[in-house]
Structure 1
Amino acid sequence: MKRSLLTLAALVVIALAAGGWYVHSKQPQRDGQMTLAHLQAPVTVRYDERGVPHIRAENQVDLYRALGYVHAQDRLFQMEMLRRLARGELAEVLGPKVVDTDKLFRSLRIREHADAYVARLDKQSPTWLALQAYLDGINQFQDTHARPVEFDLLGIPKRPFTAEDTLSIGGYLAYSFAAAFRTEPLLTYVRDQLGADYLKAFDMPWQPQGSLAAAPALSATDWKSLNDLARLSNQALEQAGLPQFEGSNAWAISGSRTRSGKPLLAGDPHIRFSTPAVWYEAQLSAPDFELYGHFQALNPFALLGHNLDFGWSLTMFQNDDLDLIAEKTNPDNPNQVWYHGAWVDMTSSQQQIAVKGAAPVTLTLRQSPHGPIVNDVVGSTAGTAPIAMWWAFLETDNPILQGFYEANRADTLDKMRSAAEKIQAPGLNIVWANAQGDIGWWAAAKLPVRPEGVDPGYILDGSTAQADKSGFYPFSDNPHEENPARGYVLSANTQPVSPSGRPIPGYYNPADRGRQLNRQLSDDHVRWDIPASQQLQLGTKTDYAARILKPLIPILRQVARDADEKALVEQLAAWPGDYPIDSVGATLFNQFLYELTEKIFHDDLGDAFFDTLLSTRVIDDALPQVVADANSPWWNNRHSPAPENRNDIVKMAWHSAVEHLRSLYGNNPEEWRWGKAHTLTHAHPLGVQKPLDSLFNVGPFAAPGTHEVPNNQSARIGPAPWSVSYGPSTRRLIDFADPAHSLGINPVGQSGVVFDKHYADQAATYIHGGYFEQHFSEADVAAHTEGVLRLVPVQP
């Protein structure tokens, strides 16, 4: 027995040692010396206490090669998954369950567009040379180091990263902005199947004949096909465990309004939470270039950044740059569509999708003169009407890499304006300031010229001229402001003012968040500084709840069943619309909001379209309009024998809300605290599988905030508890009186390598509203250096 115990102990020690060696072999190296081919001179990388690399090189090409190397050390798996998602190659490593996602992304033609884009690039331009150096750094790291743990678990083979991968990820980001796949089928269904009175809730113009009147009416199978497409589109984004842009806040305040007398820049792009987080921070220093940047996977040019002279942030423009088009097919030849007065053949091609553990899947891709046919991806349920997609991303020159290369160097209004003009898809708002005192905002996008009177919020009729585009409006027609007299610029995803007065179709957020920020920024009594800006970024109050509750509180007072419920109604009536983690009113309101939404819309839309509605932005505008209109047809439940009115539905929703919260948290409302019901978990792509969730995911954390407040910690409308899906992906504050001491935060950590000390070291600080200094000056970087990695050329 003694020998057996000793043997067992020895095996345990060996296993622990092997495990320790395995984990250690996967960790980033942040100290010591490594050789890197193609360097012209040594490069120094100093890592600070958050694991942020401060890279100093003798020239810019070396700088980008080193950036690729250190970026890969921390984020190689994120790079791999993003390129596979964008290019429709996930099934090769994840198996049959994601074949439909691959089909969807193949149907978007991102792969072909990226390949053609790269072929057109000037291979001698500084932009191309920087990209190639960066990719070479990534590939050198991959070739010389152990694979990440995730590669081992999934059996992912190593293969080089390419410029085509970089551009494909750009296509994924553009697609993640596109709300049309979910919104256009929904609104078209409401218009054509429910009617004008129902459409009023969405504030959309009514066309009595419907914009599809000239084409064959869509069948029940076609509607199912469209809803399946909407579901697949949303599922592909939600279940990937990868970053997806959702909203954002950004403002720049002129020195005339700040305490320091210099401009102040603030930004917090709202992106789906994930592990690792979307941004990789790095300071780049060369004799002719200096930038503290926030980088995305496989992109060497910072999408957010600053130095001592200037800085910028981004928000989503949310312009509608994607149209869905129902084609009219030839009864004698289903491969022909009616286009400009004649039957025209659709083209087709085939692709093979590799599937782990299964036979390859053959995908036939069709294309009409309007664009790719996208509903083929749902297979046998696709219906009879081909649905084509016109997408600005596929139709513009879109020199976006050049645009961000220039943005990284844009220290004047003229330079940033010129850079913004080159960012054509996806639509972005660029908010910028410099140390000289200038501030500016530009809506960067190519806005298509659609026929007069055409509303792209619906599915368009391909047999008419509705879907035609006669070009793009000039960039000067885009919304923009430069050094406005009021002393600040603001972007918060609301509908912008068009300088030409021309409508700009889009899927904009409700105005509540933007109005609140604008109201505070316009206060002439405030001299803005960093602490005041922190308070503004971390705000958790909204006027949206008050808009919902104002017409309903009198009804709730009537339907409350007992003293306890009456006390809850009065608590809700007195609730200021604030979302700290100890709020009971926030929990009660959000459960009531879901019950109200379900009882208003579900019976008319059915399961599938109701689920789609909850994934769109139009629900946020529809709810206040319906609750304010006692005569809206949405109040009647079409499946019940007797007609209902607003009071009936509000009564049912209230009682359901109270009962649900009691069933979850008990009869004492003091236990219904927001932070108990509203939590944030940063999910890793492998964290959807137990028990890997406990290894790779980070959280949960009690989360303040909600949808459409400045601290936009958002969860989908649904029953409690609520899991936060997206929010500020970083919070940055830069006072150009002292830009070397800017503030920022990563929601999780700088590293994507599990067991690394920087994997989740910022998560607790983030959720509690904290910030860290972004070290910039030589003295500051030296004082906070915790490791020095020297990259040296290979000796001949």
Structure 2
Amino acid sequence: MSRRQRAAAVLSAAAVVGSLLIAPAATAEPDPDYCRGQCDEILPPGQNGNATFADLVSHMLLGTRPKHSDDQIDKYDRLAGGYKRLTTDNIRDFFNDNSFGVRPDDVERSYQPRRDVTIVRDKTAGIPHIHGSTRSGTEFGAGYATAEDKLFLMDVLRHAGRGEVSSFAGGAPANRELEQRFFATSPYTEQELQQQIDSVAKQGPRGRQALADAQSYVDGINTYIDKSHQGRYFPGEYVATGRVDPITNEGRIEHFKLTDLVVLASLVGAQFGGGGGGEVQNAIARMALDERFGPERGEQIWRTFRAENDPEAVSTVHDGQSFPYGGTPAHPTGVAMPDPGSVTEQQLVFDPTGSAAKPDSTTSRPESATPHPRSDDPVESLRGIFDDGVVPRGMGQPRGMSNALVVSGSHTASGHPVAVFGPQTGYFAPQLLTLQELQGPGISSKGASFAGLSFYTLLGRGQDYAWSATTAAQDIIDTYAVPLCEPDGRPATKDSDHYLFHGQCLPFKVVERDDAWKPNLGDSTPAGSYRLVSLRTEYGPVTHRATVGGKPVAYTTARSTFLHEVDSIIGFQKFNDPGAITSAQAFQRAAHDINYTFNWFYADSRDTAYFNSGANVVRKPDVDPSMPIVSDPAHEWQGWNPADNTAAYAPFQQHPHSINQDYYISWNNKQAPGTSGAGLEKSAVQRGDLLDRRVSALAAGGEVDRANLTRAMADAGVADLRAERILPDLLRVIDSAPVSDPADAARVKELRDWLADGGKRVETSPGSHHYAHESAIRLMDAWWPLLVRGEFEPALGSDAYQALTHAMQINESPSGWQNGEPGLHVGQGHQGSAFQYGWFGQVSKDIRGVLGEPVPGGFGAPLCGGGDPSACRQVLLDTLEQAERTPADQTYPGDADCQAGDQWCADSIVHSKLGGISQRKISWQNRPTYQQVVEFPAHR
């Protein structure tokens, strides 16, 4: 058979797909819906993430896309340039109706994959509305529908969570980076995955129900796998990766197991629901400051950078309550600081061959790289779409879920609460989240879930309430210094493979993946293969080795959710149960059943609520969780049982919570007074300020509605935090003396004009691909890393400055992370979320100190210019001049998606491919990926 004949045969075989997917029409009566048309949602690019092989060929040759794969991206995109004209009458220009049920004229198709469930797809977005006559049928339908929409995505993620994505889809650097990242975080054996399932069944009737729900869900996935393979309408990526032959249909799509759901839960938890870690980097930075300034001054500077309980930090809870957690005690004991220069990372990759060298920190293809050569054979051509890996850019990097704006009914025009909220999960094609409606015995919900975990709606709405979450990241992870030993009594070294635990010299537990990549396209060459090996202790996986007081130790990561990845299932089950969620208080109690670190928000027609969830361990009173800790019983978690990694946890009352506060905002900012964040970013200037300023002003007016609250979110979403919150003080320092140099004056005027116009990053007109004030924006982007270095490095010294940049990056602009040198980016952005991490509060405090203002929690003596205001002013002008001289192609270096120097493109949101279908770029906007706008006028 010739290549052209082979291509024709493949396309002919794929052409039968349409007739196989259509089932007899059937509709279901809508379930009780008290939102009455006032609930809306959006999730770009589109619900459908399944492309057959014929779809992939058509996309490659003609640029076409499968139906419903891109029908939400335009609505989402237009908000950045059109939010000022949004009203309650035209809100559907930007969002989709999130009512229960499907109008008869909006039914696209209706079918029954099993007799006890009907799935109705709507024409608007192709969302599955799943109605089960039995609970098992509802869950079966959820699994079947999710597999229809996101099967290949789910398959990639279950392999990534096990550290096996290379063996599944090839050893590209991006694939290796992802599997290494997740394997290092959750290196489980199959037995440990099964143990977590078994533990769910022991959690009473709800636990047993959750296990039955999950099994029905898996049954639905596997039924779709079998039908699609038999009917040859499975995702075409299985052909592109060599898993299935498009002509003979030989090959295998592996069935899903319950343990796969545990893997997916651990992956999502590691990405969005953790908090803590980084204590080794903190210790190195703190020691460098003490070495530079001495213990007293060094500690003062460290505390300001640490921003622990910063009195100026914006808090979600602002009603006078305080919730102490995770703070540094006055006189800590058991701090295990490494000897200077002794820290080395624990090896994870072993026996690499050929191309399996450790991947770079960025997965973007260089500009010089050439695309896979096109072949007459569609199979060969499509295999080239994964030359860079099936893993998209940014996957696996820590990410903040954001944001939430909730206003109580006493401050709204209608007297009913209004909420605009959703998670920021990044932009992927297909999207990690999937939309659905679930209706059945004990289940009534609609919204978004992570693909592969959608047996419950994770973020969405019920009959008369809605809920959402943001990442909280309070500290549930500690670093222990575990002494190394030799079983025969010889002196230990940093390379020893045993450790001391309660007086015993134990071997490390070894968990490995010894076939991380074996070529699957008929190539028997072993080049590119390697082993992944995690060494585990009772205190968790080993991350570093060092010496403490001259004695060798292993630094380990103890996470309270380790071995408990699916414990949160009970809370999510309650969220979907109208019988369980009958009030704001009931919602808070359900949220307390979730062990991941999330901020939960709730609104119905009468009440609003907030609760901060997480397995908050109870530490000994003298333990400092921000530093490495000695591993002995005196410094372990209270009530800790190493056999199952359980401990004593903070009770409900000690978690930050509130009902009917005037308003709530969250953008991964501080939860409440007294609650210490795990990182250094919850300081005096944080992106939550952008929301708090806008929502507090709206709430004070008492006329909040869905439109103006959405506009407030969108306005904050195009604001440059550095311009709005820090540039005014920088200009005050510059204005302390006349600017005599004309070039300096021109640069300052550009920045001043931009600030006067709002300091926004918005296009001159929608679709122009040019920013208004683009020169001032380029100046700020180039200036910030130069400014931070010029402000701090001379005072701190190079060693301390570099150590602090490793503890927290200095910037997170929309175009990437600029960390100190002109144009030095660690990864290009394109993911929307910006201004969460950076030295924003630290710069603000120091500059206000230069201005002579009292600064709560400040540095004391300013660091900029050695504390001399005139010298600091000169630093600002000199670095601003350097920024002007910095070429645009250094400020905005090119990547696989953009030419160097293209400002709009560098900022733009790119839906990174996790499959064969690409999407167009859209304008930058700093907002949730999935977003709801809700106002319930009625209640049960």
If each structure's helix is expressed as a fraction of its own residues, which one has the higher value? 1
Q: Counterpart in 1 of 2:404?
A: 250
- Offset of residue 332 of structure 1: 1.9
Q: Counterpart in 1 of 2:702?
A: 526
Which of 917, 921, 928 aligns to 1:700? It is 921
Q: Counterpart in 2 of 1:95?
A: 171
Whether the 8 Å CA contact 2:466–2:604 is kept in 1: the answer is yes
Q: Please give the alpha-carbon distance, in whole angstroms, between the structure 1 residues aligned to 2:491 and 2:156.
A: 44
Which of 775, 779, 788 aligns to 1:597? It is 788
- The one-letter code sitting in structure 2 at the alignment partner of 1:220 is G
Q: Counterpart in 2 of 1:568?
A: 747
Whether the 8 Å CA contact 1:329–1:336 is kept in 2: the answer is yes
SS in structure 2 opposite 1:161?
coil
Whether the 8 Å CA contact 1:256–1:262 is kept in 2: the answer is yes
- Offset of residue 202 of structure 1: 0.8
Q: Counterpart in 2 of 1:351?
A: 512
SS in structure 2 opposite 1:386?
strand
Whether the 8 Å CA contact 1:583–1:674 is kept in 2: the answer is no
- Offset of residue 697 of structure 1: 3.1
Q: Counterpart in 1 of 2:845?
A: 625
Which of 467, 470, 482 aligns to 1:327? It is 482
Q: Counterpart in 2 of 1:171?
A: 266
- Offset of residue 458 of structure 1: 2.5
- Offset of residue 389 of structure 1: 0.9
Q: Please give the alpha-carbon distance, in whole angstroms, between the structure 2 residues aligned to 1:126 and 1:220.
A: 53
Structure 1 residue 472 corresponds to structure 2 residue 693: no
Q: Counterpart in 2 of 1:122?
A: 201
Structure 1 residue 494 corresponds to structure 2 residue 569: no
After superposition, what is the alpha-carbon deviation per residue over 1:218-248, rounded to whole angstroms, capped at 9, x for unaligned?
A: 35351566999xx999879984647964131
After superposition, what is the alpha-carbon deviation per residue over 1:588-632, rounded to whole angstroms, capped at 9, x for unaligned?
A: 322211332355567446879746632783634333334445565
Q: Please give the alpha-carbon distance, in whole angstroms, between the structure 1 residues aligned to 2:307 and 2:687.
A: 22
Q: Please give the alpha-carbon distance, in whole angstroms, between the structure 2 residues aligned to 1:327 and 1:476.
A: 34
- Offset of residue 327 of structure 1: 2.3
Q: Please give the alpha-carbon distance, in whole angstroms, between the structure 1 residues aligned to 2:438 and 2:802.
A: 51
Q: Please give the alpha-carbon distance, in whole angstroms, between the structure 2 residues aligned to 1:318 and 1:201.
A: 19
Whether the 8 Å CA contact 2:140–2:216 is kept in 1: the answer is yes
Structure 1 residue 482 corresponds to structure 2 residue 650: no
Which range moved further: 449-458 or 292-301? 449-458
- Offset of residue 84 of structure 1: 1.4
Distance change >3 Å, CA 59–CA 191, structure 1 → 2: same
Whether the 8 Å CA contact 2:275–2:678 is kept in 1: the answer is no
Distance change >3 Å, CA 168–CA 15, structure 1 → 2: closer
Q: Please give the alpha-carbon distance, in whole angstroms, between the structure 2 residues aligned to 1:559 and 1:662.
A: 29
- Offset of residue 319 of structure 1: 0.6
Q: Counterpart in 2 of 1:586?
A: 777
Q: What is the 5 A alignment of 1:33-44?
A: 39-41=114-116, 43-44=118-119
Q: Please give the alpha-carbon distance, in whole angstroms, between the structure 1 residues aligned to 2:801 and 2:18.
A: 50
Which range moved further: 176-185 or 64-73? 176-185
Q: Counterpart in 2 of 1:733?
A: 933
Q: Please give the alpha-carbon distance, in whole angstroms, between the structure 1 residues aligned to 2:167 and 2:348.
A: 27
Q: Please give the alpha-carbon distance, in whole angstroms, between the structure 2 residues aligned to 1:660 and 1:739.
A: 58
After superposition, what is the alpha-carbon deviation per residue over 1:153-201, rounded to whole angstroms, capped at 9, x for unaligned?
A: 2234521112211122211222224776774333221111232165255
Distance change >3 Å, CA 567–CA 37, structure 1 → 2: closer
Whether the 8 Å CA contact 1:198–1:634 is kept in 2: the answer is no
Q: Counterpart in 1 of 2:241?
A: 154
SS in structure 2 opposite 1:700?
coil
Distance change >3 Å, CA 28–CA 287, structure 1 → 2: farther
Distance change >3 Å, CA 226–CA 323, structure 1 → 2: farther
Whether the 8 Å CA contact 1:65–1:136 is kept in 2: the answer is yes
After superposition, what is the alpha-carbon deviation per residue over 1:706-756, rounded to whole angstroms, capped at 9, x for unaligned?
A: xxxxxx2xxxxxxxxxxxxxx41112101102799xxxxxxxxxxxxxxxx
Q: Please give the alpha-carbon distance, in whole angstroms, between the structure 2 residues aligned to 1:152 and 1:567.
A: 58
Q: What is the 5 A alignment of 1:135-214?
A: 135-145=218-228, 146=232, 147-156=234-243, 157-177=252-272, 183-195=278-290, 196=298, 199-203=302-306
- Offset of residue 682 of structure 1: 0.9
- Offset of residue 69 of structure 1: 1.2
Structure 1 residue 448 corresponds to structure 2 residue 669: no
SS in structure 1 opposite 2:432?
coil
Q: Please give the alpha-carbon distance, in whole angstroms, between the structure 2 residues aligned to 1:53 and 1:399.
A: 27
Structure 1 residue 406 corresponds to structure 2 residue 574: yes
- The one-letter code sitting in structure 2 at the alignment partner of 1:165 is D
Q: What is the percent sequence identity of the aligned residues?
A: 19
Task: With the length of structure 2 as denominator, give the TM-score of the two structures.
Answer: 0.64
SS in structure 2 opposite 1:270?
coil
Distance change >3 Å, CA 272–CA 460, structure 1 → 2: farther
Distance change >3 Å, CA 660–CA 121, structure 1 → 2: same
Q: Please give the alpha-carbon distance, in whole angstroms, between the structure 1 residues aligned to 2:392 and 2:842.
A: 23
Q: Counterpart in 2 of 1:770?
A: none
Q: Compute the RMSD of aligned alpha carbons.
A: 4.3
Whether the 8 Å CA contact 1:681–1:701 is kept in 2: the answer is yes
Whether the 8 Å CA contact 1:89–1:353 is kept in 2: the answer is no
- Offset of residue 442 of structure 1: 0.8
Distance change >3 Å, CA 515–CA 555, structure 1 → 2: closer
- Offset of residue 404 of structure 1: 0.3
- The one-letter code sitting in structure 1 at the alignment partner of 2:876 is V
Distance change >3 Å, CA 677–CA 153, structure 1 → 2: closer
Which of 600, 604, 622 aligns to 1:430? It is 600
Count, aligned residues: 677
Distance change >3 Å, CA 303–CA 665, structure 1 → 2: closer
Distance change >3 Å, CA 415–CA 274, structure 1 → 2: same
Q: Please give the alpha-carbon distance, in whole angstroms, between the structure 2 residues aligned to 1:70 and 1:562.
A: 66
Structure 1 residue 680 corresponds to structure 2 residue 909: yes
Q: Counterpart in 1 of 2:466?
A: 311
- Offset of residue 110 of structure 1: 5.0
Q: What is the 5 A alignment of 1:643-792?
A: 646-647=872-873, 649-661=875-887, 675=904, 677-685=906-914, 696-703=917-924, 705=925, 712=926, 727-737=927-937
Q: Please give the alpha-carbon distance, in whole angstroms, between the structure 2 residues aligned to 1:645 and 1:466.
A: 46
Q: Counterpart in 2 of 1:105?
A: 182
- The one-letter code sitting in structure 1 at the alignment partner of 2:261 is T
SS in structure 2 opposite 1:625?
helix
Gap runs ≥5 in structure 2: 26-109, 244-251, 291-297, 309-326, 350-357, 364-390, 520-525, 640-647, 764-770, 810-816, 818-835, 851-860, 893-900
- The one-letter code sitting in structure 2 at the alignment partner of 1:531 is A
Q: Counterpart in 2 of 1:273?
A: 427
- Offset of residue 479 of structure 1: 0.5
Distance change >3 Å, CA 27–CA 85, structure 1 → 2: farther
Distance change >3 Å, CA 577–CA 64, structure 1 → 2: same
SS in structure 2 opposite 1:402?
helix
Whether the 8 Å CA contact 1:252–1:489 is kept in 2: the answer is yes
Whether the 8 Å CA contact 1:430–1:444 is kept in 2: the answer is yes
After superposition, what is the alpha-carbon deviation per residue over 1:224-282, rounded to whole angstroms, capped at 9, x for unaligned?
A: 66999xx9998799846479641312233333332233222221212222111222111
Whether the 8 Å CA contact 1:682–1:697 is kept in 2: the answer is yes
Q: What is the 5 A alignment of 1:550-569?
A: 550-553=728-731, 556=734, 563-569=742-748
Whether the 8 Å CA contact 1:318–1:508 is kept in 2: the answer is no
- Offset of residue 569 of structure 1: 0.8
Which of 49, 55, 64 aligns to 2:139? It is 64
